Chains A and B, each alone.
Chain A
Amino acid sequence: MPKLTIDGHEVEVAARTNLIEAARAAGVFIPYFCYHPYLTVVGQCRICMVEIQGQPRLALGCATPATDGLVVKVETSARAKEAREAVMEFLLANHPLDCPVCDQAGECLLQDHSMREQRDTFTTHMAETRRTFPGYERRLLGPHIVQNQNRCIHCSRCIRFTQEISETAALTYKSRGNSEFIDTFDGRAFDDPMSACAADVCPVGALTVREFRFRKRAWKLSSTPSICPGCSIGCNIFIDHHEREVHRFTPRENPAINATWLCDYGRFLADSLNEQTYLYPQRRAAGHMVRAEWGEAIAALALELRAARPLRVVASANLSNEELFLARELFGRHLRGELAVPLAAGEQRRMRNGKGEWLHAADPYPNSLGARRLGLNVVDGEGLSRFLYGGAGLTLILDAEAHPFLAGAEALQLLRVGATAVWMRCEHPLAGVAGWLLPAASLASDEGTFTSSTGVVQRFAAAFSPPGTVHRMPTGAMSPECPTIASPWGPPGEARPLWLVLTALARELGAPNLDLASPAEVFTLMAQTDRAFAGLEWEALGGLKLDESFRERQHVG
């Protein structure tokens, strides 16, 4: 473990750590553009130059390993500062001054560095005009990536990403010297399955994500740590949102699962979180759907649940561990109903972790392993059809998107026999047979944990409170006496996360041990009763510490 001094701060780091990471640990920031912790070091941008005491030449922070007794000067070295300034002079000689209209502004490494270290009196001796790439200012490089070659600082991060991480090696430098530019082979579309990561790693606005361009200024966004709902790999993400609208997903660093990457499929699920077709609880009366209050709905549903013979509950691997646990305890144990979690095969997805290993997933649910570990009855489409073939009684469908079978004519036929209550968010054929239709909130306003395919229990936080509320009173919040104040932003309506509805139902059904105030409490109970969660603590889950700022690391990713 080498011990070194950086700008007067002593720090001990693991062997082979480079100076940039050692300085980060010491609380000193060494600027960089081409360095990325999960890509090979090329030492191309030269902005990370630092002075090492006793060495005549300046050293590169990215390519110099920390060794014992090294005395490094970053901010305190006039020589290093001068060298970095010279590098900036060359970079800015050709970089357009279009920050006001550049979508990267606010999360641009070049802009940040310029603001941090550039002198106000910065001048240049260069007399040449700015180099431009006519025709390459607004070019669609692939389905998700827009290229502006004028802004490129030739760091080669995107190229290294396609070579080393996604392994398509689709991007390359073409030409040489001053006219070097980024392109694909023979002008083909850049349709890498992780293509948007190339824009993530781009330190400037040369590559931007088409879907997010000009939707929101980066500094207006709040980032909430969450888990990608796209498949069972469970990539760590930030939900970037503003005024109760989700604008994008960005990868959140987790070396064991997704390093700093995210596949395009998962990333572009972000928009689907804003969909909210069903706004209020509805009840079928004389063939028509009538709006109901939540309190009324829960009281009536509790009565129906008590009387239901038999009671069938279709849960879903899209639900959090807490919600599945509540469903199991409440409907399974307390009411002695039957539970099933349908799983369908989905498209193969894969993700590369920090060690360079590929993780694979074949099912499109974020919590299929969680459902299994909770000991729930996992069924396939055929099993689901048998499960629903019970005739009369009451069927609860906790998630309309649990299985494609539920949207088919056969399922609707089976469900018409008895009574049905369905939780859903988006347009779904089940609305036609539901006796009770309850609006579900999206992942963005839910809170809980998912168990990833590798068995890691990961927590996701609520980005904003459910639509229609500006505050949330945990226990009893669903009762008629609790007023809700409509929010001026975000989707209207009264959709609620399932855990809140289930705890309210528990209260109504006389299961006070399940009338818990938050997913955290549910988790604590679950950790006491279920072996799969034994020893886990909510606060310490999955590297998610809400007090820690991920912004800086997010830049990297």
Chain B
Amino acid sequence: MTTRPLVVATQETTSDVKFDKTMEDRIADVLRRYPTTRAALLPVLWLCQERFGWISPGVISAVAERLGESAAFVEGVVSFYTMYYTSPPARYVLQVCTTLSCSVCGGRELVDHLTAKLGIGFGEKTPDGSFQLVGVQCLGACGNAPVIQINDDYYEDLTPKKLDAVLDDLKGRR
């Protein structure tokens, strides 16, 4: 599996955001598929997160202007959903399932292992910016518990040993 690292745009790009041609095209494409511009807010924010790595106040302003909403409203929406990052994420975001099935099938051990190995708790990043640990609710893959979603990819049937191999692989891939 080749999980691609998240790329966070530079400080300058995220503070004063201007959408380029590609982004404008993609936004226009999204807008075509929704009845109102407000309805397209979530997918447009998602596009922005893909492009800039996280939803900065600058991104919020730009989205609000593009969709004709107030910046405060857009920020309210962003703060409602946990999957929009409101601070720059690490290159690999380890989203450990903490719901029942995974927990009883070894998810807790995975969390303990990660905390000990990386020296971080939930919501924290490693100092080198490689990994970020996030506890999430059911990922819908209980049949292959325990599960960790790393960026956009699922890693299933994990044990601490398998997880070590995955992390070493990702870390080496810098």
B residues in contact with A162, CB < 8 Å: 72
A169 in contact with B70 (CB, 8 Å): yes
Q: A185-B57, A186-B60 are in contact. Are A175 and B80 (CB under 8 A)?
A: yes
A174 in contact with B70 (CB, 8 Å): no
- Interface code B57-69, partner A: CB below 8 Å = 1, 0 otherwise? 1001100000001
Q: How far is the CA of A172 from the CA of B69 in the complex (A)?
A: 12
Q: Is the interface of A mostly helix, strand, loop or mixed?
A: mixed
The yes or no answer to B142 lying at the interface (CB within 8 A) is no
B70 in contact with A176 (CB, 8 Å): no
A residues in contact with B73, CB < 8 Å: 163, 169, 172
**Nearest CB of chain A from residue B167's CB, rounded to whole Å:** 31
A residues in contact with B69, CB < 8 Å: 169
Residues of chain B at interface, number, CB under 8 A: 13
A residues in contact with B79, CB < 8 Å: 174-176
- Interface code A159-177, partner B: CB below 8 Å = 1, 0 otherwise? 0001100001111111110
The yes or no answer to B75 lying at the interface (CB within 8 A) is yes
Q: A173-B76, A174-B76, A175-B79 are in contact. Are A186 and B70 (CB under 8 A)?
A: no
Q: How far is the CA of A471 from the CA of B57 in the complex (A)?
A: 61
Option from A170, A173, A183 in Cβ contact (under 8 Å) with B70: A170
Q: A185-B57, A185-B60, A186-B57 are in contact. Are A169 and B80 (CB under 8 A)?
A: no
B residues in contact with A111, CB < 8 Å: none
Q: How far is the CA of A250 from the CA of B80 in the complex (A)?
A: 35
The yes or no answer to A184 lying at the interface (CB within 8 A) is yes
The yes or no answer to B71 lying at the interface (CB within 8 A) is yes
Q: A185-B57, A185-B60, A186-B60 are in contact. Are A172 and B80 (CB under 8 A)?
A: no
**Nearest CB of chain A from residue B55's CB, rounded to whole Å:** 12
**Nearest CB of chain B from residue A303's CB, rounded to whole Å:** 65
A186 in contact with B75 (CB, 8 Å): yes
B70 in contact with A185 (CB, 8 Å): yes
B residues in contact with A170, CB < 8 Å: 70, 72
Residues of chain A at interface, number, CB under 8 A: 15
**Nearest CB of chain A from residue B29's CB, rounded to whole Å:** 27
B72 in contact with A185 (CB, 8 Å): yes
- Interface code B100-140, partner A: CB below 8 Å = 1, 0 otherwise? 00000000000000000000000000000000000000000
A186 in contact with B71 (CB, 8 Å): yes
Q: How far is the CA of A513 from the CA of B15 in the complex (A)?
A: 72
Q: How far is the CA of A175 from the CA of B84 in the complex (A)?
A: 12
Q: A185-B57, A185-B60, A185-B75 are in contact. Are A163 and B80 (CB under 8 A)?
A: no
Q: How far is the CA of A174 from the CA of B77 in the complex (A)?
A: 8
A185 in contact with B71 (CB, 8 Å): yes
Q: How far is the CA of A162 from the CA of B57 in the complex (A)?
A: 20
A residues in contact with B80, CB < 8 Å: 173, 175-176
- Interface code B72-105, partner A: CB below 8 Å = 1, 0 otherwise? 1111100110000000000000000000000000
A residues in contact with B61, CB < 8 Å: 185
Q: How far is the CA of A268 from the CA of B57 in the complex (A)?
A: 33
**Nearest CB of chain A from residue B48's CB, rounded to whole Å:** 16
- Interface code A169-205, partner B: CB below 8 Å = 1, 0 otherwise? 1111111100000011110000000000000000000
Chain B residues 44 to 61 lying within 8 A of chain A, measured CB to CB, are 57, 60-61
B residues in contact with A174, CB < 8 Å: 75-76, 79
B residues in contact with A173, CB < 8 Å: 76, 80
**Nearest CB of chain B from residue A178's CB, rounded to whole Å:** 13
Q: How far is the CA of A168 from the CA of B71 in the complex (A)?
A: 10
**Nearest CB of chain A from residue B41's CB, rounded to whole Å:** 13
Closest to B56 in A: A186
A residues in contact with B60, CB < 8 Å: 185-186
Q: How far is the CA of A186 from the CA of B69 in the complex (A)?
A: 15
Closest to B82 in A: A176
**Nearest CB of chain A from residue B58's CB, rounded to whole Å:** 9
B residues in contact with A184, CB < 8 Å: 72
Q: How far is the CA of A406 from the CA of B32 in the complex (A)?
A: 62
B residues in contact with A183, CB < 8 Å: 72, 75
**Nearest CB of chain B from residue A177's CB, rounded to whole Å:** 9
B residues in contact with A172, CB < 8 Å: 70, 72-73, 75-76
Q: How far is the CA of A358 from the CA of B51 in the complex (A)?
A: 41
Closest to A174 in B: B79
Q: How far is the CA of A170 from the CA of B71 in the complex (A)?
A: 8
Q: How far is the CA of A183 from the CA of B57 in the complex (A)?
A: 14
B residues in contact with A185, CB < 8 Å: 57, 60-61, 70-72, 74-75
Closest to A170 in B: B72
Q: How far is the CA of A176 from the CA of B60 in the complex (A)?
A: 18
B residues in contact with A175, CB < 8 Å: 79-80
B residues in contact with A168, CB < 8 Å: 70
Q: How far is the CA of A312 from the CA of B117 in the complex (A)?
A: 92
Q: Given A169-B72, A175-B79, A185-B71, list of 19 further CB < 8 A pairs?
A: A163-B70, A163-B73, A168-B70, A170-B70, A172-B72, A172-B73, A172-B75, A172-B76, A174-B76, A176-B80, A183-B72, A183-B75, A184-B72, A185-B60, A185-B61, A185-B72, A185-B74, A185-B75, A186-B71
Which 6 residue pairs are nearest across A and B when measured between Cβ atoms?
A169-B70, A172-B76, A172-B72, A185-B71, A185-B72, A186-B57
13 residue pairs bridging A and B, Cβ less than 8 Å apart:
A169-B69, A171-B72, A172-B72, A172-B73, A173-B76, A174-B76, A175-B79, A183-B72, A185-B57, A185-B60, A185-B61, A185-B71, A186-B57
